[in-house]
Structure 1
Amino acid sequence: MRKIFTTAGIHARDRFDCWMSVIRRDFIDNDAIPARRRGFRAQLCAGSVGRVNLALARSSELRVSHTKRHSGQPSDDLLFVFMPLAGTKMVRQNGRQAVLEPGQFALVDPRLPHEGRYSEDSEVLTVIMERRSLECRLGAVHELTGRPLTQETAEGRLAAGYLALLPAQSGLLNSVAEDMVETHLLDLIALALGKVMEGQVSLGSSGRSLIRMRLHAAIEEMLADPGLDTETVAAAAGVSTRHANAILADEELSLGRLIQAKRLARCREALEDSAQTHRTVSEIAYGWGFSDMTHFGRRFRAAYGMLPSECRRQARLRG
């Protein structure tokens, strides 16, 4: 990650104001009060993994508030996950509060009011993702914000471990690897949130979100099986095919289209991966469950506006 701001070298009376101007300009419009204005110190690093942005902030003790007055900003289309790497961070939203320690994380929706508090000498990783990238996996996230995700579950441990690795690896991956890591990251966050939902959130719209998550997970698990069909996926998620399609209709999808979209995406990743140039187009297509090359080529072109061979050629030209 690259350092984009530090209070080092800035006069003590100006440090906090300079810090807030960077936060408001580059991330989110908030109000904040430092425990000690003249003793305030902070550093901010930024990076990304695919379309997911990362911010790593080290700071003195600080209280933050985001009110209705701050709504209507570009950040409304985003969702934030906060995880301390050192110190603690308190988050409060939707009547729920969590004091996060290293290895714990929580989801915050910048569209809604929320509060936060950073402890002295805290180091907090913020993962900033497009709202739709998580909601397509879980549905509406209102009931999930402000809840602590701990390492008490396997899902929480996996997601926290993955998050902790991101600062050191950001900027070191090629574009294909970044896209794959982005998908895995979002899937793990969704799995961890879904586990919390299972234990604490009532059914209704949240029940639909759970089923949606199970459908996505079942497809990912069996994607390479050429015999995968909609009935198998629905059964693995514990619902009927009709009910599964009704839930996916919220995303303007069906089980069949979702299976195909995921297979095409995996094929495109492989075709653009420089480490897989030794594999033929047909080998890649068969490996991800396609059994008819004509059908594969037609569907690939409909999805991406080019043939698989053109996709590979363009990837080679890009380097």
Structure 2
Amino acid sequence: MIETVFRTDDLSAADRFGLWREHMVKALCPMDMSSDHTAGFRADMRLLQLGSVCVWPATVQSVRFRRTAKLIRRSDPELYHLTLPLWGTNGISHVGLETTHGPYDMHVVDSSRPFDIHVLDTTAPVRMVGIEVPKALLPLPPRAVDRLLARRLPVRGGTGALLAGLLTQLVQDTASYGLSDGPRLELVIIDLLSAVLAHHIEADDTLPPEARSRTLTLRIHAFIQHHLHDPGLTPSSIAAAHQISLSYLHRLFRTDGITVSAWIRGQRLERARRDLADPALRNLSAQRIAAHWGFIHYPHFSRAFRTTYGVPPKDYRRQTTRHG
């Protein structure tokens, strides 16, 4: 994970808003920005680069962000931008909707569509966490995601709570993450965001059956990945958690040409492989890494690992350490 920090307190009062505006445009996308506090504007922002995903916690005074059709024609990174407000209010005009969001009302906008966002403080500066995710990385029907733009996405319970919890924990404790954690966190954020959006898409009765099945599959994928550590994770427990029959669960996975158990095993093996190659985890034995990812019997893990990657786990670790 790569972290950069921008604080207006480090600048002269006259330069703060102009340099903040330049920083935001460079970090996110071209936008027009204005504020009633340009004289001595105050803002703090950290930019956490997790592969192709950016997470940026920020504390700002009232400011307005406008992305016009002209700016979109000039440059479009083709991102979905999710905001998790922690304090203050966001007023949004986007895709024909006028909405207002308070603390913990997550919402998404599309960089390819004009938007007008007014971040309002009352008694204290606004605090928020933003995520920038390339649209191509979300395996969801774009027309279905369009239905969620600018809408409130609750964070109480379910995958919304998981995503909000991950973001708040991440931005509170960046010191405990290293450079090699970036790709892992990128995958987790993409999976959870996909699951959050899929949950709300699936609730839309107008969604075609094929899209509903796909979004349910994404929710199940996110659930499995969140519970990979649990040795008791089984097709039956997954079906029960999603209130579907076991036969329907197997049918969803057959569409992708794989069994549920094989998908779980593949995800666990891949997580274990990454940990074995991670220099920061070299003091953990291969047995402990296997157990951490839900493999109760080490010989079974070793055979599955060798079948998948061509070498036993310990040999793989020695090879990656030597070449690293």
Same fold? TM cut 0.5:
yes
SS at match of 1:287: coil
Q: 1:239 aligns with which of 215, 226, 248?
A: 248
Structure 2, gaps ≥5 residues long: none
Q: Deviation string for 1:106-154 (max 9, x for gaps)?
A: 1222122222111132122112234344x23x44332222121224444
d(CA) in 2 for partners of 1:147, 1:311 = 47
Segment of structure 1 superposing worse, 97-106 or 18-27: 97-106
Deviations 1:142-197 (A, max 9, x none): 22221212244444333323322221222422356555544444443333333333
Matched, 1:312 2:317: yes
SS at match of 2:308: helix
Q: How many residues align?
A: 305
Match for residue 25 of structure 1? 26
Map of 2:68 onto structure 1: 67
Matched letter for residue 33 of structure 2 = A
Q: Residues 18-77 of structure 1: CA distance to partner in whole angstroms, max 9, x if unpaired?
A: 22211112221111222343353333222245653222222222221112333364621x
Which residue is equivalent to 2:173? 169
- When the two chains are superposed, the root-mean-square deviation of aligned CA atoms in Å is 4.0
Write the mapping of 1:4-43 to structure 2, written as runs, cut at 5 A: 4-6=6-8, 8-12=10-14, 14-43=15-44
Structure-to-structure mapping, 1:1-319, within 5 angstroms: 2-6=4-8, 8-12=10-14, 14-49=15-50, 52-71=53-72, 73=75, 75-76=77-78, 78-120=79-121, 121-133=125-137, 135-136=138-139, 138-140=140-142, 141-175=145-179, 178-200=182-204, 202-204=206-208, 206-217=211-222, 219-220=224-225, 221=227, 239=248, 241=250, 244-246=253-255, 248=256, 254-255=258-259, 258-259=263-264, 261-272=266-277, 274=281, 277-280=284-287, 283=290, 287=295, 291=300, 293=302, 296-301=305-310, 308-309=313-314, 311-313=316-318, 316=321
* Residue pair 1:83, 1:100 contacting (<8 A) in 2 also: no
Q: Could you tell me the percent identity over the aligned residues?
A: 20
- The superposition leaves residues 266-314 of structure 1 with CA deviations (integer Å, 9 ceiling, x where unpaired) of 221332351762234995698189947555324225xxxx874454236
In structure 2, C-alpha distance between the alignment counterparts of 1:237 and 1:144, rounded to whole Å: 30
Distance verdict in 2 for CA 1:62–1:219, change over 3 Å = closer
The farther-off stretch of 183-192 and 18-27 is 183-192
What's the TM-score once normalised by structure 2's chain length?
0.74
Distance 1:118 1:227, change over 3 A: closer
The amino acid of 1:3's aligned partner reads V
Would the alpha carbon gap of residues 180 and 240 (structure 1) be closer, same or farther in structure 2, given more than 3 Å must change?
A: closer
User: Under a length normalisation based on structure 1, what TM-score does the superposition of the two structures give?
Assistant: 0.75
Residues 81, 132 of structure 2: 8 Å contact kept: yes
SS in 1 for 2:176: coil
8 Å contact kept, 2:276–2:282: no
Mark the runs of 5 or more structure 1 residues left unpaired by the alignment: none
What is the distance in 2 between the residues matched to 1:208 and 1:7?
Answer: 50
* One-letter identity of the residue aligned with 1:62: V
